[in-house]
């Protein structure tokens, strides 16, 4: 969008203008920080006072705010409008590289689709297939027989090992490794106590998946590790060999799981969740931050703690912990009284 004004931004976000439809927009900012020709967004009524005092030229809101002097774009869902607006500004300020660098190393039998960009120092190995409109940033390694779907972006220093399949419209952020050997060993007496179990399965990642920086996703031993369509995985997550993850799950940073975990659809793992091997988590479950999953979690269950309990039960336990010193003193006092009595 070369020229942004209230009217064409309203068309983008599905809203209508109250005020000057030609009000110019050159930037996006917070309610407090906006000024000049900035646009700001009021997501919640509790910030209405800030919105009223904002110097933004244009305000996206779900209703008018008493005291605001600029132009409104009224929408049904302000947060969804913000997402569209951020996408617009992001795409304008983060231009994708174009063309194939002369310093990229591409195997003679690799297939690279139309309008795909490949950066300097990237290596595309034998038999790899890269779809149309992909962006391979500099210093990426794509192994033998890897398949990337259309419009997928792979950021610097990502390693995708042999045989991995990744769908279309995916985003793999820097320093992530997909398809490395799983952590599998057997123990036998002798000179070599720990003997490696080589993993010859693969990794299959669905469509519209985002995988953050510094993640590790291991290949399966015999069959594949699977990540379903629409999953969003934050930084520093670990998905071990043979895990199966359903569609539209969301994992916050440092969520990690041992081998052969099965996770249903639309599951939320908050930060620093740990899951024991072979455990199952049902559809729509929510696992709160810091939980250690040592049992199967039922569909729709919301759990917290170690061992995992319902969030309400764990909240009561944590509330009681603060009173333990006082309760201990009272118990000791009662014991002494009984002993002397």
What residues act catalytically?
A: 241
**What is the arrangement of strands in the sheet containing 274-275, beginning at the earlier edge strand?**
105-106, 123-124, 141-142, 159-160, 177-180, 216-218, 238-239, 256-257, 274-275, 292-293
**Taking a C-beta distance cutoff of 8 angstroms, is the pair 172, 211 a contact?**
yes
The Cα–Cα gap between 180 and 143 comes to: 11
Measured distance CA(44)–CA(247) in Å, rounded: 29
Length of the chain: 341
Structure tokens at 16: 């209508």
Give the sign of the dihedral formed by CA 47, CA 269, CA 293, CA 196: negative
CA distances from 135 to 34, 119, 233, 234, 272 (A): 33, 8, 20, 20, 31
Please give the structure tokens belonging to residue 108: 């003679």
Q: Which residues contact 224 (CB under 8 A, 6 or more apart)?
A: 201, 202, 203, 204, 242
- Residue given tokens 């931050």 in the structure block: 289
Q: How far apart are CA 138 and CA 118, in angstroms?
A: 7
């Amino acid at each position: 969008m070369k020229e942004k004004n209230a009217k064409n931004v309203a068309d983008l976000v599905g809203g209508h203008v109250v005020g000057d439809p030609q009000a110019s927009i050159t930037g996006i900012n917070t309610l407090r920080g906006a000024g000049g020709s900035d646009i700001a967004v009021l997501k919640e009524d509790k910030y209405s006072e800030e919105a009223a005092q904002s110097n933004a030229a244009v305000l996206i809101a779900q209703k008018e705010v008493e005291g605001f002097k600029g132009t409104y774009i009224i929408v049904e869902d302000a947060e969804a409008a913000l997402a569209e607006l951020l996408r617009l500004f992001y795409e304008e300020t983060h231009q994708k590289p174009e063309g194939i660098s002369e310093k990229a190393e591409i195997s003679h039998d690799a297939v690279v689709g139309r309008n795909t960009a490949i950066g300097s120092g990237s290596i595309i190995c034998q038999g790899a297939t890269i779809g149309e409109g992909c962006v391979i940033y500099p210093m990426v390694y794509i192994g033998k027989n890897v398949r990337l779907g259309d419009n997928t972006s792979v950021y610097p220093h990502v390693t995708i090992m042999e045989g991995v399949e990744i769908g279309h419209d995916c985003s793999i952020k820097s320093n992530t490794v997909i398809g490395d050997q799983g952590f599998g060993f057997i123990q036998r007496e002798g000179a070599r106590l720990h003997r490696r179990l080589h993993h010859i399965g693969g990794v299959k990642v669905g469509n519209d998946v985002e995988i953050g920086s510094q993640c590790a996703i291991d290949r399966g031993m015999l069959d594949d590790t699977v990540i379903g369509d629409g999953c969003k995985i934050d930084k520093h997550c670990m998905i071990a060999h043979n895990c199966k993850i359903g569609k539209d799950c969301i994992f916050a940073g440092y969520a990690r799981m041992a081998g052969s975990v099965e996770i249903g659809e639309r599951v939320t793992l908050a930060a620093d969740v740990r899951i024991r091997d072979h455990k199952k988590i049902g559809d729509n479950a929510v696992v709160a931050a810091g939980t250690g999953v040592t049992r199967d979690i039922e569909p729709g269950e919301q759990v917290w703690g170690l061992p995992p309990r319902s969030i309400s039960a764990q909240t009561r336990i944590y509330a009681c912990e603060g009173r333990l010193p006082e309760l201990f003193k009272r118990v000791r006092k009662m014991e002494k009284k009984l002993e002397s009595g």
